Amino acid sequence: VLGNEGAGVGPGLVAAVRRRVAVPLAPAVESLNVAVAAGILLYEVTRDA
């Protein structure tokens, strides 16, 4: 589940998951769109496989 740029995911969903991850942003980057964030996460998952 990917959350939105501002609020992320709701507290009920956060409580239901076993693991949370986040994409750290450089100071000059305000936000990432969901497609870019998903691409970064998928790259990291497959890189370590």
pLDDT for the residue numbered 43: 95
- 43 within some domain: yes
Domain that holds residue 33: 11-47
- The number of domains in the chain is 1
- 1 within some domain: no
- 29 within some domain: yes
**pLDDT for 6-36, tens place per residue?**
778 889 998 999 988 889 999 999 888 889 9
| Rounded CA separation 47/39 (Å) | 12
- 26 within some domain: yes
pLDDT for the residue numbered 28: 96
Q: Which residues of 12-36 are buried (b: 16+ CB within 10 A; e: fewer)?
A: eeeeeeeeeeeeeeeeeeeeeeeee
- 3 within some domain: no
pLDDT band at 49 (very low <50, low <70, confident <90, very high): low
| Rounded CA separation 37/43 (Å) | 10
- 6 within some domain: no
Nearest to 8 by CA among 19, 18, 24, 22: 22
Asked whether 13 and 1 are in contact (CB, 8 A), the reply is yes
pTM for this one? 0.71
